[in-house]
Amino acid sequence: MKEEFYIYNLPNGIRGIHRRVKSGVARCSLIIGAGSRDEFATEYGIAHFAEHGFFKGTTHRKAYQVNCRLENLGGELNAFTTKEDTTVHATVLRGDFTKAAELIADVVFNSTFPDKELDKEREVIYDEINTYKDSPMDMIYDTFEDMIFKGSELGHNILGSKRDLMRHNSAAIHRFIERTHTTDQMVFATIGNISNSRIEQIANRYFAAKSASTKSYSRTVPAPYEQFVVEMNKHTHQTHCIIGNRAYSLTEDKRLPFSLLTNILGGPCANSRLNVSLRERNGLSYNIEANYTPYSDCGMSAIYFSSEHCNADRCREIIEAELMKLQNTRLTTRQLAMAKRQYIAQMTIATEGNEGYMLGVGRSLLVHGDVDTLEEAYKKINAVTASQIMEVANEIFTNNSTLIYR
């Protein structure tokens, strides 16, 4: 087994992964391979609603007891839902780790989802939906993804609509969880200064009692979509625009070259090509970024910018020119080496936060059944060639679709 990680299996199919680090803080998470993609058409929004419901009481605790259990100790309990998974995670001092693990097991396995509490939480999610509607930058991503994956289970909003949420009650959430939250699709990921044997002992104590269950359904690969250029009048102060396409899945080898390419094009650094060309050279946009979201069997590439209405067409022209350069001009040896060094440094710095690293390796174990050490990841990045960068640029940046909010 790789020395950086300790991987183990519980009798009911739940997998565990631990990384021991010198720290007075410990973190743990239960990652469940079920998200909004696994909802029936009558269940839109229920995966996220269920996640909120985890905090509303269990067979052992009332809602306020759930919320105060770790916070009174200076720690925190939180959760989030994506299209393909649901995660409950906690951060505590090392001496309180057992309490955190027990609480996660309690809320995931023993939540009662009382209708009275759900009625109140429904109003909270209505407010969350309205917050997104007030943010064109957030809303345009959801709309674009709905259009890219139209007709697929991926093609609907994680939050659902107010009308969707009105249909969901305690019984509906229990049915969804019974169908989708199976033990073979769960990973308990931990990081902290705790021995491997102690971690496995704690995991067995709190998670092994859950009856074994196996996923009984499969996801459908999204059908091809038709390229589009759509403009919507949203009466915004700026033009907001996304240019993008379908991209590689989590299991495809080309995922890594395309991740590196996306970072070169519009990553978080000030020297990304789009930031330099739109902001630094021309002063046309404050917000410009490129993103790549891989899923288990497909993915999405998206370039987003906002600008004054009069500058939007010029921004699109510059973006298209940058894409053409990447499609037709091979990176020099020096450019590629610098891009790799930057990407590796970003990855290494991100691991220092520990929480993101824990969640990342947990999801990797869930999806791939294995995890690369940092050294293995570095080797794969350094093996990417300029020809591969050009190849993925031509495959993904051809026939892009465009969505514009004005």
Amino acid 25 reads V
- What is the C-alpha separation between 32 and 234, in angstroms, rounded? 36
- What is the C-alpha separation between 397 and 386, in angstroms, rounded? 16
Which H/E stretch holds residue 287?
Answer: strand 287-294
Q: What is the pLDDT of residues 261-315, one digit of tens each?
A: 999 999 999 999 999 999 999 999 999 999 999 999 999 999 999 999 999 999 9
- What is the C-alpha separation between 276 and 282, in angstroms, rounded? 8
3-class state of residue 216 by DSSP: coil
3-class state of residue 113 by DSSP: coil
Q: What is the pLDDT of residues 202-218, one digit of tens each?
A: 999 999 999 999 999 99
How far, in whole angstroms, is CA 25 from its chain's centroid? Answer: 24
- What is the C-alpha separation between 161 and 8, in angstroms, rounded? 40
Average pLDDT over residues 44-59: 97
345 class by beta-carbon count within 10 Å (0-12 exposed, 13-18 middle, 19+ buried) = exposed
Q: What is the pLDDT of residues 131-159, one digit of tens each?
A: 988 999 999 999 999 999 999 999 999 99
Q: 84: which DSSP letter?
A: S
Q: 275: which DSSP letter?
A: I
Q: What is the pLDDT of residues 240-267, one digit of tens each?
A: 999 999 999 999 999 999 999 999 999 9
Mean pLDDT over the full length of the chain: 95
Residue 2 has pLDDT above 70, yes or no: no
Q: Are 391 and 258 in contact (CB under 8 A)?
A: no
- Domain range 229-405, CATH architecture: 2-Layer Sandwich (3.30)
At the fourth CATH level, the homologous superfamily of domain 6-207 is Metalloenzyme, LuxS/M16 peptidase-like (3.30.830.10)
Write down the pLDDT at residue 352.
86
Backbone angles phi, psi at 195, to 5 degrees: -65, 155
Q: 111: which DSSP letter?
A: B
Residue 1 has pLDDT above 60, yes or no: no
- What is the C-alpha separation between 49 and 160, in angstroms, rounded? 9
Residues 6+ apart with CB under 8 A from 357: 19, 191, 350, 351
Write down the pLDDT at residue 304.
98
Q: Where in the chain is the domain with CATH 3.30.830.10?
A: 6-207, 229-405
Using alpha carbons, select from 254, 274, 250 the residue that is nearest to residue 264.
274
240: tokens are: 């907001």
Residue 3 has pLDDT above 80, yes or no: no
Q: What pTM was estimated for this model as a whole?
A: 0.93
Residue 193 has pLDDT above 80, yes or no: yes
User: Quick count: other Cβ atoms within 10 Å of Cβ 18?
Assistant: 25
